[in-house]
Amino acid sequence: MAVYTDLSDEELAGLLAQYDLGQAVAFKGIAEGVENSNFLLETEAGRFILTIFEKRVERRDLPFFMTVMETLAEKGVPAPRPMRNRNGALFSEVRGKACTIITFLTGVSPKRPNVAQCRAVGAKLAEMHLGLRGLTQARPNALSVDAWPGLVEPRLELADKLRPGLAADVKADLAALAKAWPQGLPDGVIHADLFPDNTLFLGDEAKGLIDFYFACTDALAYDLAVCLNAWCFEPRGAFNLTKGQALIAGYESVRPLSGEERATLPVLARGAAMRFFATRLADWAETPAGALVRPKDPLEYADKLGFHRSAKSVADYGG
Protein backbone atom coordinates (compact mmCIF):
# COMPACT_ATOMS: atom_id res chain seq x y z
CA MET A 1 0.00 0.00 0.00
CA ALA A 2 1.58 3.27 -1.13
CA VAL A 3 0.06 5.35 1.66
CA TYR A 4 2.71 6.91 3.85
CA THR A 5 0.52 9.52 5.54
CA ASP A 6 -2.88 8.36 6.74
CA LEU A 7 -5.47 10.87 7.82
CA SER A 8 -7.91 10.79 10.71
CA ASP A 9 -11.55 11.67 10.18
CA GLU A 10 -10.90 15.02 11.86
CA GLU A 11 -7.91 15.81 9.64
CA LEU A 12 -9.88 14.99 6.49
CA ALA A 13 -12.80 17.14 7.62
CA GLY A 14 -10.43 20.00 8.38
CA LEU A 15 -8.90 19.74 4.92
CA LEU A 16 -12.27 19.66 3.17
CA ALA A 17 -13.36 22.71 5.15
CA GLN A 18 -10.87 24.64 3.00
CA TYR A 19 -12.80 23.68 -0.17
CA ASP A 20 -16.33 24.02 -1.52
CA LEU A 21 -16.69 20.28 -2.09
CA GLY A 22 -19.04 19.35 0.72
CA GLN A 23 -18.44 16.58 3.22
CA ALA A 24 -16.65 13.29 2.60
CA VAL A 25 -18.86 10.39 1.53
CA ALA A 26 -16.08 7.82 1.00
CA PHE A 27 -12.31 7.81 1.53
CA LYS A 28 -9.90 5.00 0.70
CA GLY A 29 -6.15 4.64 0.18
CA ILE A 30 -4.87 3.71 -3.29
CA ALA A 31 -2.19 1.03 -3.55
CA GLU A 32 -0.75 2.17 -6.89
CA GLY A 33 2.18 4.55 -6.97
CA VAL A 34 5.30 4.65 -4.84
CA GLU A 35 6.14 8.36 -4.63
CA ASN A 36 3.23 9.89 -2.73
CA SER A 37 0.18 9.04 -0.63
CA ASN A 38 -2.94 8.78 -2.81
CA PHE A 39 -6.57 8.41 -1.82
CA LEU A 40 -9.85 7.98 -3.62
CA LEU A 41 -12.06 10.69 -2.18
CA GLU A 42 -15.78 10.96 -2.76
CA THR A 43 -17.59 14.05 -1.48
CA GLU A 44 -21.01 15.54 -1.95
CA ALA A 45 -19.58 17.27 -5.04
CA GLY A 46 -18.27 14.12 -6.77
CA ARG A 47 -15.22 11.84 -6.96
CA PHE A 48 -11.65 13.09 -6.60
CA ILE A 49 -8.10 11.96 -5.93
CA LEU A 50 -6.33 13.38 -2.89
CA THR A 51 -2.54 13.32 -3.17
CA ILE A 52 -0.22 14.07 -0.26
CA PHE A 53 3.29 14.79 -1.51
CA GLU A 54 5.91 12.70 0.25
CA LYS A 55 9.21 12.74 -1.66
CA ARG A 56 10.88 13.80 -4.91
CA VAL A 57 8.30 16.56 -5.30
CA GLU A 58 9.60 19.93 -4.17
CA ARG A 59 7.02 22.34 -2.81
CA ARG A 60 8.41 25.10 -5.05
CA ASP A 61 7.51 22.97 -8.11
CA LEU A 62 3.87 22.50 -7.17
CA PRO A 63 2.53 25.70 -8.79
CA PHE A 64 4.09 24.57 -12.07
CA PHE A 65 2.59 21.07 -11.92
CA MET A 66 -0.83 22.37 -10.93
CA THR A 67 -0.83 25.01 -13.67
CA VAL A 68 0.11 22.37 -16.27
CA MET A 69 -2.86 20.19 -15.29
CA GLU A 70 -5.30 23.08 -15.04
CA THR A 71 -4.20 24.41 -18.44
CA LEU A 72 -4.65 21.03 -20.10
CA ALA A 73 -8.06 20.51 -18.55
CA GLU A 74 -9.14 23.94 -19.80
CA LYS A 75 -7.86 23.11 -23.31
CA GLY A 76 -9.86 19.87 -23.42
CA VAL A 77 -6.84 17.56 -23.11
CA PRO A 78 -7.89 14.75 -20.72
CA ALA A 79 -5.85 15.62 -17.64
CA PRO A 80 -7.02 15.90 -14.02
CA ARG A 81 -8.08 19.37 -12.93
CA PRO A 82 -6.75 20.53 -9.54
CA MET A 83 -9.46 21.95 -7.31
CA ARG A 84 -8.82 25.47 -6.07
CA ASN A 85 -9.44 25.96 -2.37
CA ARG A 86 -11.42 28.87 -0.94
CA ASN A 87 -8.31 31.04 -1.07
CA GLY A 88 -7.89 30.32 -4.78
CA ALA A 89 -4.80 28.15 -4.26
CA LEU A 90 -4.27 24.97 -6.28
CA PHE A 91 -2.81 23.06 -3.35
CA SER A 92 -3.21 23.02 0.41
CA GLU A 93 -1.49 21.50 3.45
CA VAL A 94 -2.32 18.65 5.80
CA ARG A 95 -0.17 17.08 8.50
CA GLY A 96 2.56 19.59 7.59
CA LYS A 97 2.73 18.32 4.00
CA ALA A 98 1.54 19.81 0.75
CA CYS A 99 -1.48 18.15 -0.85
CA THR A 100 -3.87 18.59 -3.74
CA ILE A 101 -7.35 17.43 -4.65
CA ILE A 102 -7.82 16.67 -8.36
CA THR A 103 -10.75 15.45 -10.41
CA PHE A 104 -11.21 11.70 -10.78
CA LEU A 105 -10.87 10.40 -14.35
CA THR A 106 -12.41 7.11 -15.43
CA GLY A 107 -10.50 4.45 -17.30
CA VAL A 108 -8.04 1.60 -16.89
CA SER A 109 -4.26 1.64 -17.29
CA PRO A 110 -3.24 -0.95 -19.89
CA LYS A 111 -0.95 -3.73 -18.67
CA ARG A 112 0.21 -4.77 -22.16
CA PRO A 113 -0.62 -1.93 -24.56
CA ASN A 114 -1.81 -2.93 -28.02
CA VAL A 115 -1.03 -1.22 -31.31
CA ALA A 116 -4.18 0.92 -31.31
CA GLN A 117 -3.45 2.14 -27.79
CA CYS A 118 0.10 3.06 -28.83
CA ARG A 119 -1.26 5.16 -31.68
CA ALA A 120 -3.82 6.78 -29.37
CA VAL A 121 -1.26 7.73 -26.72
CA GLY A 122 1.02 9.18 -29.40
CA ALA A 123 -1.80 11.46 -30.56
CA LYS A 124 -2.65 12.49 -27.00
CA LEU A 125 1.00 13.26 -26.27
CA ALA A 126 1.10 15.63 -29.24
CA GLU A 127 -2.20 17.21 -28.16
CA MET A 128 -0.66 17.78 -24.75
CA HIS A 129 2.41 19.44 -26.28
CA LEU A 130 0.27 21.76 -28.40
CA GLY A 131 -2.06 22.49 -25.49
CA LEU A 132 0.84 23.72 -23.37
CA ARG A 133 2.36 26.02 -25.99
CA GLY A 134 2.74 29.51 -24.63
CA LEU A 135 2.73 28.46 -20.97
CA THR A 136 4.83 31.11 -19.25
CA GLN A 137 5.97 28.89 -16.38
CA ALA A 138 9.00 26.67 -16.94
CA ARG A 139 10.82 23.99 -14.97
CA PRO A 140 14.25 22.62 -15.97
CA ASN A 141 14.55 18.87 -16.43
CA ALA A 142 16.54 17.80 -13.37
CA LEU A 143 16.86 14.25 -14.73
CA SER A 144 18.45 15.02 -18.11
CA VAL A 145 21.84 14.18 -19.56
CA ASP A 146 23.89 16.13 -17.00
CA ALA A 147 22.28 14.24 -14.09
CA TRP A 148 22.80 10.66 -15.29
CA PRO A 149 26.51 10.25 -14.45
CA GLY A 150 25.90 11.32 -10.85
CA LEU A 151 23.26 8.62 -10.49
CA VAL A 152 25.10 5.83 -12.30
CA GLU A 153 28.83 6.21 -11.67
CA PRO A 154 28.73 5.80 -7.85
CA ARG A 155 26.77 2.57 -8.39
CA LEU A 156 28.79 0.88 -11.14
CA GLU A 157 29.81 -1.91 -8.77
CA LEU A 158 26.15 -2.66 -8.17
CA ALA A 159 25.53 -2.66 -11.93
CA ASP A 160 28.17 -5.36 -12.38
CA LYS A 161 26.62 -7.38 -9.56
CA LEU A 162 23.27 -7.22 -11.34
CA ARG A 163 24.87 -8.28 -14.62
CA PRO A 164 28.61 -8.85 -15.17
CA GLY A 165 29.97 -6.39 -17.73
CA LEU A 166 27.08 -3.96 -17.38
CA ALA A 167 29.23 -1.24 -15.79
CA ALA A 168 31.47 -0.97 -18.85
CA ASP A 169 28.45 -0.86 -21.17
CA VAL A 170 26.69 1.95 -19.32
CA LYS A 171 29.92 3.95 -18.93
CA ALA A 172 30.24 3.83 -22.71
CA ASP A 173 26.58 4.85 -23.04
CA LEU A 174 27.11 7.85 -20.77
CA ALA A 175 30.09 9.01 -22.79
CA ALA A 176 28.29 8.57 -26.11
CA LEU A 177 25.21 10.43 -24.89
CA ALA A 178 27.21 13.33 -23.48
CA LYS A 179 28.91 13.73 -26.86
CA ALA A 180 25.84 13.35 -29.07
CA TRP A 181 23.04 14.92 -26.99
CA PRO A 182 21.16 17.31 -29.31
CA GLN A 183 20.65 20.99 -28.60
CA GLY A 184 18.17 23.46 -30.04
CA LEU A 185 15.30 21.07 -30.77
CA PRO A 186 11.73 22.39 -30.52
CA ASP A 187 10.95 22.49 -26.82
CA GLY A 188 8.13 23.11 -24.40
CA VAL A 189 6.47 21.50 -21.42
CA ILE A 190 6.69 17.70 -21.49
CA HIS A 191 5.22 14.98 -19.30
CA ALA A 192 8.56 13.11 -19.02
CA ASP A 193 6.98 10.00 -17.42
CA LEU A 194 4.08 8.95 -19.66
CA PHE A 195 4.16 5.22 -18.97
CA PRO A 196 1.07 3.06 -19.48
CA ASP A 197 0.28 3.27 -15.75
CA ASN A 198 0.07 7.05 -16.13
CA THR A 199 -2.70 6.78 -18.72
CA LEU A 200 -6.34 5.75 -18.57
CA PHE A 201 -8.15 3.95 -21.40
CA LEU A 202 -11.64 2.79 -22.21
CA GLY A 203 -10.96 0.11 -24.80
CA ASP A 204 -8.56 1.66 -27.29
CA GLU A 205 -9.58 5.24 -26.52
CA ALA A 206 -7.21 7.29 -24.37
CA LYS A 207 -9.37 8.94 -21.71
CA GLY A 208 -6.79 10.37 -19.35
CA LEU A 209 -3.17 11.43 -18.87
CA ILE A 210 -2.22 11.49 -15.19
CA ASP A 211 0.71 11.93 -12.77
CA PHE A 212 2.38 15.11 -14.01
CA TYR A 213 4.88 15.33 -11.15
CA PHE A 214 7.93 14.88 -13.40
CA ALA A 215 6.68 17.44 -15.93
CA CYS A 216 9.37 19.87 -17.05
CA THR A 217 10.60 21.98 -19.94
CA ASP A 218 12.64 20.03 -22.49
CA ALA A 219 12.75 18.89 -26.10
CA LEU A 220 9.29 17.75 -27.21
CA ALA A 221 10.78 14.80 -29.10
CA TYR A 222 12.39 13.58 -25.88
CA ASP A 223 8.87 13.02 -24.52
CA LEU A 224 8.13 10.86 -27.56
CA ALA A 225 11.39 8.97 -26.91
CA VAL A 226 10.26 8.26 -23.34
CA CYS A 227 7.04 6.80 -24.73
CA LEU A 228 8.89 4.63 -27.25
CA ASN A 229 10.73 3.08 -24.32
CA ALA A 230 7.66 2.75 -22.13
CA TRP A 231 5.11 1.50 -24.70
CA CYS A 232 6.89 -0.32 -27.52
CA PHE A 233 9.16 -2.94 -25.96
CA GLU A 234 8.24 -6.52 -25.27
CA PRO A 235 9.71 -8.42 -22.30
CA ARG A 236 13.53 -8.67 -22.20
CA GLY A 237 14.25 -5.80 -24.52
CA ALA A 238 12.68 -6.76 -27.85
CA PHE A 239 11.40 -3.66 -29.65
CA ASN A 240 7.99 -4.03 -31.30
CA LEU A 241 8.35 -2.14 -34.59
CA THR A 242 4.61 -2.19 -35.27
CA LYS A 243 3.91 -0.47 -31.96
CA GLY A 244 6.69 2.04 -32.67
CA GLN A 245 5.17 2.82 -36.07
CA ALA A 246 1.78 3.34 -34.46
CA LEU A 247 3.11 5.57 -31.68
CA ILE A 248 5.07 7.82 -34.03
CA ALA A 249 2.24 7.95 -36.58
CA GLY A 250 -0.23 8.87 -33.85
CA TYR A 251 2.02 11.67 -32.68
CA GLU A 252 2.63 12.99 -36.19
CA SER A 253 -1.10 12.93 -36.98
CA VAL A 254 -1.30 15.91 -34.58
CA ARG A 255 2.20 17.40 -34.61
CA PRO A 256 4.62 16.40 -37.40
CA LEU A 257 8.24 15.99 -36.34
CA SER A 258 10.91 18.20 -37.85
CA GLY A 259 13.75 16.68 -39.84
CA GLU A 260 16.15 17.28 -36.97
CA GLU A 261 13.79 15.67 -34.48
CA ARG A 262 13.55 12.57 -36.65
CA ALA A 263 17.33 12.44 -37.12
CA THR A 264 18.04 12.66 -33.39
CA LEU A 265 15.29 10.32 -32.19
CA PRO A 266 17.69 7.34 -31.74
CA VAL A 267 19.91 9.42 -29.43
CA LEU A 268 16.88 10.73 -27.52
CA ALA A 269 15.51 7.20 -27.12
CA ARG A 270 18.86 5.95 -25.83
CA GLY A 271 18.96 8.86 -23.42
CA ALA A 272 15.43 8.19 -22.19
CA ALA A 273 16.43 4.59 -21.49
CA MET A 274 19.47 5.82 -19.57
CA ARG A 275 17.31 8.18 -17.50
CA PHE A 276 15.14 5.32 -16.25
CA PHE A 277 18.04 2.93 -15.84
CA ALA A 278 19.83 5.56 -13.74
CA THR A 279 16.94 6.30 -11.39
CA ARG A 280 16.05 2.63 -11.05
CA LEU A 281 19.66 1.77 -10.24
CA ALA A 282 19.72 4.50 -7.58
CA ASP A 283 16.44 3.29 -6.08
CA TRP A 284 17.69 -0.31 -6.11
CA ALA A 285 20.84 0.70 -4.24
CA GLU A 286 18.98 2.72 -1.61
CA THR A 287 16.17 0.27 -0.82
CA PRO A 288 16.98 -1.75 2.32
CA ALA A 289 16.73 -5.53 2.28
CA GLY A 290 13.30 -6.70 3.37
CA ALA A 291 11.54 -3.49 2.33
CA LEU A 292 7.83 -3.95 1.64
CA VAL A 293 8.00 -1.98 -1.63
CA ARG A 294 10.54 -3.48 -4.03
CA PRO A 295 11.99 -0.98 -6.52
CA LYS A 296 11.60 -1.52 -10.24
CA ASP A 297 14.25 -3.64 -11.93
CA PRO A 298 17.07 -1.62 -13.57
CA LEU A 299 17.84 -4.54 -15.89
CA GLU A 300 14.66 -3.87 -17.87
CA TYR A 301 16.27 -0.64 -19.04
CA ALA A 302 19.69 -2.22 -19.40
CA ASP A 303 18.07 -4.48 -22.00
CA LYS A 304 16.51 -1.50 -23.75
CA LEU A 305 19.85 0.28 -23.82
CA GLY A 306 21.18 -2.76 -25.66
CA PHE A 307 18.64 -2.19 -28.43
CA HIS A 308 19.33 1.54 -28.68
CA ARG A 309 23.07 0.97 -29.13
CA SER A 310 22.37 -0.72 -32.44
CA ALA A 311 19.69 1.68 -33.70
CA LYS A 312 20.91 3.81 -36.62
CA SER A 313 17.92 5.92 -37.64
CA VAL A 314 14.30 6.72 -36.95
CA ALA A 315 13.37 3.82 -39.24
CA ASP A 316 14.59 1.44 -36.53
CA TYR A 317 11.75 2.80 -34.37
CA GLY A 318 9.08 2.70 -37.07
CA GLY A 319 9.37 6.30 -38.25
- What is d(CA 295, CA 234) in angstroms, rounded to the nearest whole number? 20
Domain spans of the chain? Answer: 9-103, 115-317
DSSP secondary structure string, 230-270?
HHSEEGGGEE-HHHHHHHHHHHHTTSPPPHHHHHHHHHHHH
For domain 9-103, say whether CATH 3.10.105.10 is its number: no
pLDDT in tens, 283-319: 888 866 555 566 789 999 999 999 999 999 999 999 8
Could you give the 3-state DSSP secondary structure of residue 162? Answer: helix
pLDDT in tens, 158-187: 999 999 999 999 999 999 999 999 999 999
Contacts of residue 26, Cβ cutoff 8 Å, sequence gap at least 6? 40, 41, 42
Architecture of domain 115-317: Alpha-Beta Complex (3.90)
pLDDT in tens, 230-259: 999 998 779 999 999 999 999 999 999 999
- What is d(CA 88, CA 101) in angstroms, rounded to the nearest whole number? 13
Which pTM does this prediction carry?
0.93
Could you give the 3-state DSSP secondary structure of residue 48? Answer: strand
- What is d(CA 258, CA 187) in angstroms, rounded to the nearest whole number? 12
- Residue type at position 55: K
